[in-house]
Amino acid sequence: MSDSSISQGAAITLNKLTKRYGDATAVDAIDLNAEPGEFLTLLGPSGSGKTTTLNMIAGFVDVTEGEILVDGKPVYALPPHKRNMGMVFQHYALFPHMSVGDNVAYPLRQRRLPKSERGRLVADALNKVGLANLSHRMPRQLSGGQQQRVALARAIVYSPRVLLMDEPLGALDKKLRDSLQLEIKRIHAELGTTFVYVTHDQDEALVLSDRIAVFNQGKIEQVGSAQDLYERPSTIFVAQFVGESSLFHGLAVDHGAGKGVLSSDRTLHAHRGDARTGAPAALVVRPERIRVQSIDGTAPSGNAVRGRILQEIYLGNSRKLEVELGDGSKVLVRESAGDVTANRPGDLVWLTFRAEDAVVLTSNESPDRPQAADDHVPVFASH
């Protein structure tokens, strides 16, 4: 038991990690690694395999295939209690028959630390989470937020080199979540421990993480920093799951140095894109990168699509417009409070955006938009 309060986080490597339940594959041969001291978030909808992955790292779920390495050493043979990891659970999982102090001291008791040192470390951990004087309370006497802080203290008290968190804020309300997020970030910076954090909340992931792995149907769609995922999504799923996106469907075409999307009535271009030429694809733009311009005869140059504003959602610091396109699909446009135009629901407008703000990505679904010539008639006929 080293007494260094700055524990160095461990490196975690997942190689072709797979979990199958009968015929169902929960986790499908994923490769992922966490650098020492990194804050890595596993983000995805429920059932995407992120929690199963976390449970395999903790040792609660047997691995079907593949391996888990901690600092290069496989942990396959180690039961959970010998992996020396910390974990925070969604519903706190505090021992209801032990006081706050005893809960936090529990890992130290298992490690047979002398009583005096236990007391010091417990006080230390409770201090870190801001609960210094609640040591004698019982868990049920605490609020949800306080209980989760105790759970956090229990997980960090023995300075584990890896801290796993399974939707730790999922049971709390929005305000509390926001303040605890900042605290978790602070504690991570203080400890230097490797954090693996599971959540389905993309805002949370963006706030906390060094890197985010986006899970979908047992596979990892993309791994990258918050900025990578937001500005350079590599799949449509990521584009839609992380932040909001407006999609323009069509067939991929080559366009100069970049890519383009050809639809029935226009070709749109993007500077980036990986969709195979001729394949169904979507051009993805973030709503705040789209400008709205009223139709006054002259078509704007560059990327421009006609549409009709369906509704307006007022959000205080911005407004969101839902716009129906000629092919019947709907896209979102966000205008920040300083740039709100005079366009109103019912108006026909031009949507414009720059090619450098757009990316063309393969649609896994075949374009379900009708390609017939008369498809845009309902929108445009009224003028």
Partner 1 sequence: MATVEALVAGPITADTVIDQAAPSKRWGRLGLLVPAGLLLIIGFIVPLVIMLWYAFTDPSVGFGNFAWYLGDAVQQRILLRTFTTAVNVTVICLLLGYPYAYAMVAAGPKLRAVLTLLVLVPFWTSLMVRTFAWVILLQDHGPIQSLLATVGLGQIPLIRTNLGVVIGMSQVLLPFFVLPLYAVMTNIDRRLILASSSLGAGPITSFFRIWLPLSLPGVGAGSLIVFISSLGFYVTPALLGSPGNSLISQQIFTQVNGLLQWGRAGTMGVVLIVITLAILAILALVIGRSTSTIKGVR
Partner 2 sequence: MRKPAARMWKGALWLFCALVALWLAAPSLIVIPLSLTDKPSFSFPPTGWSTRWYTNFFQDPSWVGALASSLQVGALVAVVATIAGTAAAAALTRSAFRGQQTVKAILLAPMIAPVIVVAVGLYALFLRTNLLGTTLGFVIAHSVLALPFVIIPVTASLNGFDRRLESAAAICGANRWTTFRQVTLPLVAPGVISGALFAFVTSFDEVVLSLFIQSPYLQTLPVKMYASVTRDTDPTIAAAATLILGLTTVLTLTTTFYIARRNRVR
Stretch that binds partner 1, among 30-38, 52-60, 133-141, 201-209 (CB under 8 A): 52-60
Pick one of partner 1, partner 2, none as the site partner of residue 140 (Cβ within 5 to 8 A by kind). Answer: partner 2
Q: Quick one: 106 or 230, whose CB is closer to partner 2?
A: 106
Stretch that binds partner 1, among 60-68, 198-206, 219-227, 348-356 (CB under 8 A): 60-68
Distance CA 151, CA 96 (A): 12
Residue 69 tokens, joined: 């390495």
168 touching partner 2, by CB under 8 A:
no
For residue 48, CA distances in Å to 150, 178, 226 come to 29, 24, 19
Size of the site for partner 1 (CB under 8 A): 11
Q: Which helix (H) or strand (E) holds 240?
A: helix 236-241
Instruction: Give the burial string for 233-270 (b: 16+ CB within 10 Å, else e).
Output: bbbbbbbebbbebbbbbbbbbebeebbbbbbeebebbb
Using CB under 8 A, which of 13, 36, 89, 272 touches partner 1?
A: 89
Distance CA 61, CA 59 (A): 6
- Amino acid letter for position 333: V
Q: What is the DSSP letter of 261?
A: E
Using CB under 8 A, which of 15, 25, 35, 91 touches partner 2?
A: 91
Pick one of partner 2, partner 1, none as the site partner of residue 76 (Cβ within 5 to 8 A by kind). Answer: none
Q: Quick one: 79 or 114, whose CB is closer to partner 1?
A: 79
Distance CA 160, CA 221 (A): 29
What sign has the CA pseudo-torsion 19, 25, 31, 37?
negative
93 touching partner 2, by CB under 8 A:
yes
Q: Quick one: 218 or 326, whose CB is closer to partner 1?
A: 218
The interface mask with partner 1, positions 64-83, x = CB under 8 A, is ----------------x---
Pick one of partner 2, partner 1, none as the site partner of residue 258 (Cβ within 5 to 8 A by kind). Answer: none
Residue 310 tokens, joined: 């369906």
Q: Provide the greatest CA pair distance for the chain.
A: 83
Give residues in contact with partner 1 (CB under 8 A).
21-22, 51-52, 55, 60-62, 80, 89, 166
Q: What is the binding site for partner 2 (CB under 8 A)?
A: 58-60, 79-87, 89, 91, 93-97, 106-107, 110-111, 138, 140, 154-155, 158, 164
